[in-house]
Structure 1
Amino acid sequence: MTENDLLYTLALHHAPKIGDITAKKLISHCGSAEAIFKEKRQNLLKIDGIGTFLLNGLNQKNFLNEAENEIDFIKKNHLKVSYFKDENYPERLKHCIDGPILLFQSGTINLENKPIISIVGARKITSNGIAFCESLVETLSAYNPIIVSGFAYGTDITAHKAAIKNNLQTIGCLAHGLNTIYPKVHKRYMADVEKNGGFLTDFWSTDKIDRKNFLKRNRVIAGISEATIVIESAKKGGSLVTADIANSYDREVFALPGRINDIQSVGCNNLIKHQRAHMLTSPMDVPYILNWELEKSEKPVVQKQLFVELDPIEKLIYNYLKENEKQQLDVLAINCNLPIFKVASILLTMELKGVVRPLPGKLFEIV
């Protein structure tokens, strides 16, 4: 879009009382943001759902001045701007009725031809939650997904760090402008995130950090991805809001179950109980449900290789399969006395080595 288009779109974007749904309706009727400001008031009032209360927000002349200042900030910091009708706007967000009309981004984000998942959860994540999150990202790295989260404490930063460790793109969706970072302690991770992806927000540099903005931010986390994964959650929390939004967008939701007396598992257990999320017991549940396939160049060679080196745990699993033939993932985990998520990760490694292969029904056998 031209700078003039951006100027008027920014002015509309920041107009009080006019949200993204109303803004899209006005743009659809008038053709552009500039045309909205130049259209006669009586004509705008004829649009279904547009009343005097909403239009009063368009009368402030200082909007264009504020928009000019924001354009200066965008230029100075070399930010990218995505308009909801542009090709560079995230494809899945285009199908969300309340998706932002503008997105600002920093870093090296590339959304082309890559699966995208969002990982959210408790800020006070447990050691078990951290271990599963790290195993999940490591296991899924074979599919080269983009990992999206909110750059907050706990689950969010664990997911971002795991993505960076596994050389995956990661995107932090922020609840404030790109002139600052919250929490401040996470500033040390910014360079790595921007090198391996970047940050997205629909907030201006002049917007204050406010609690309600974090809930608004969650629609971007849910809308940009094909699935949202909730690692841990108490009975209430922002991650449950994100899961609800994802469900409203008809996206897949996964939740990690936990013991019924664990406070940080109540939210996930409720999602599963009310059939609002798939039960996630293994990292491989994600590609199975989403029907992901490895790239041809990355597909395992399904033939037995001579002199393949196996570590002690891989040998344990291999010998069990050799003695008992094809087995299900949970049976393997129980009889080898290992966590299910750990066995799932090891099986994928062994599959890439060409010593085991998956079968329908979550069965595995040696090659």
Structure 2
Amino acid sequence: MSQLHRIALSMLRCLSPQNARLLLEELKTPEAVFDPEFLKEIPGLNPRLQEEVSSGAALRQAERELEFMEKSDVCLHWFEDEDYPARLRTCPDAPLLLYSMGEADLNPPKMLSIVGTRKMTAYGRLFCEQFIQDLAGAFPDLTIVSGLAYGVDVCAHRTALNFNLKTLAVLAHGLDRVYPPAHRQTAKKIVQQGALLTEMPSYTQPLGWRFVQRNRIVAGLADACVVVESAEKGGSLITAYMAREYNREVFALPGRIIDPYSRGCNKLIKNQVAALLEKAGDLIREMNWDQNIRQQSRQQTLFPLLEAGLQEVFDLFGEGRDYDTSELYELLRQRRDCDMGYLLSVLLQLELYCLIRILPGNKYRLY
């Protein structure tokens, strides 16, 4: 199947992705769309489509795009191909194709979108960094998706890079540029440890409406969407509602009612669009990602990534028993010299990994 005709089909302005698929069901191949004889056989076809195809403009633009792809090492992902994101393919308005620059797998075991305001506060930054760090410790195969914008987006990308996670930046323009330009160095790192992704051909300008269009890809790529901070209106809320329409789980970080960049998150939680998110363990439990962790936790050696201190405290627990902190402290003191503050910090880490759970009365039990 011709790459040229695939690209040209995606460039027909009067044809939405949904209608393009319907046309392909009728004509079978993209090449047939550009054959006037085949088009004549379809009753009730939009005359504008016939005119646009006859002009040859889409094919000429597609030729230029192929030249750019070859020069810039850009890959093409067609919606029927195996390397197209399988999660995104289930969305009714998924793009016909995606362009990517980088080496990332678009179908990793776990994928999480993290979005939010461009005017990120210290509260949001602290949460975002700790949240991704905790997830990276438990799931090194996790891929973080965002939009490379100021604030929450770039914080999510940079934190993922810092903790050796793959990350995808979904752009609202072509791969000939980086917007905003201030994030060019981050984009270069993403190409090495993930990918830049867009449905837009090269030399497409980053206009406002294209960011809204881009948001559906951010929502559709992932298993779940996390909103870190948002005003009462904004693009991240649009992404959250799109994610719900795609049957994705949505999570939001709550904040004070007087904080303008928590109002959007509080609204999502209040309207039951998003689940309240306080720590990584909340998402892990809601997504049932803890099943793998619990299975591995029964092995003699827990996680190679866990420090020896975490393993040591975990080994204190027996199946089906509840332990209060004083009992655990005495057991631990028999093995090493430590204070209660050390024990409490380790218990918190084990809870984040969903290995133990806290019970009423300040008691702990294995999951």
TM class, shorter-chain normalised?
0.7 to 0.9
- CA deviations on 1:17-70 (whole Å, 9 max, x unpaired) are 212111111112110111112144443334xxx533454433321221111110
- Cα distance in 2 for partners of 1:272, 1:82 equals 35
Q: Offset at 1:298?
A: 9.4
Which of 106, 111, 116 is matched with 1:116 structurally? 111
Aligned partner of 2:43 in structure 1 is 45
- The 3-state SS of whatever aligns with 2:251 is strand
Contact 1:146 1:168 in 2 (8 A): yes
1:110-146 residue CA offsets vs partner (Å, 9 max, x unmatched): 1344200100000001000000001110111112310
The corresponding residue for 1:28 is: 25
> What does the per-residue CA deviation read over 1:275-298, in whole Å, with 9 as the maximum and x for residues that have no partner?
111111222111111101475799
Alpha-carbon distance in structure 2 between the residues aligned to 1:215 and 1:102: 18
CA contact (8 A) 2:231 2:261 kept: yes
- The alpha carbon displacement at 1:347 in A equals 2.5
> What RMSD in Å do the two structures reach over aligned CA positions?
3.1
> Compared with structure 1, are the counterparts of its residues 202 and 304 closer, same or farther at alpha carbon in structure 2 (3 Å cutoff)?
closer
CA distance in 2, matches of 1:83, 1:217: 17
Distance 2:179 2:27 in 1: 37
User: Aligned match of 1:95 in 68, 87, 90?
Assistant: 90
Q: Does 1:323 align with 2:326?
A: yes
Cα distance in 2 between the residues matched to 1:116 and 1:347: 25
Deviations 1:189-221 (A, max 9, x none): 122111111111000112122111111110110
CA distance, structure 2, for counterparts of residue 36 and residue 237 of structure 1: 38
Superposition map of 1:42-81 within 5 A: 42-46=40-44, 50-81=45-76
- Residues 297 and 227 of structure 1: CA distance in aligned 2, closer, same or farther (over 3 Å): closer
Q: Which residue of 1 aligns with 2:337?
A: none
For the residues of structure 2 that align with 1:63 and 1:57, how far apart are their CA atoms?
Answer: 8
| Contact map agreement 2:124 2:228 (CA 8 A) in 1 | yes
Question: Does the 8 Å CA contact 1:357/1:364 hold for their aligned counterparts?
Answer: no
Q: Percent identity between the aligned chains?
A: 35
TM-score by length of 2: 0.82
Alignment correspondent of 1:358: 356
Residue ranges of structure 2 left out of the alignment (5+ in a row): 311-322, 329-339
Q: Name the TM-score, length of structure 1 as normaliser.
A: 0.82
Q: Distance in 2 between matches of 1:254 and 1:345?
A: 26
Deviation at 1:365, TM superposition (A): 2.1
Q: 1:301 to 1:191 in 2, by over 3 A?
A: farther
Aligned ranges 1:1-367 → 2 under 5 Å: 2=1, 5-38=2-35, 39-46=37-44, 50-141=45-136, 142-144=138-140, 145-293=142-290, 299-300=296-297, 309=309, 321-323=324-326, 347-348=348-349, 357-359=355-357, 365=364
Range moving further from structure 2, 218-227 or 137-146: 137-146
Q: Quick check: 1:321–1:366 contact (8 Å CA) kept in 2? A: no
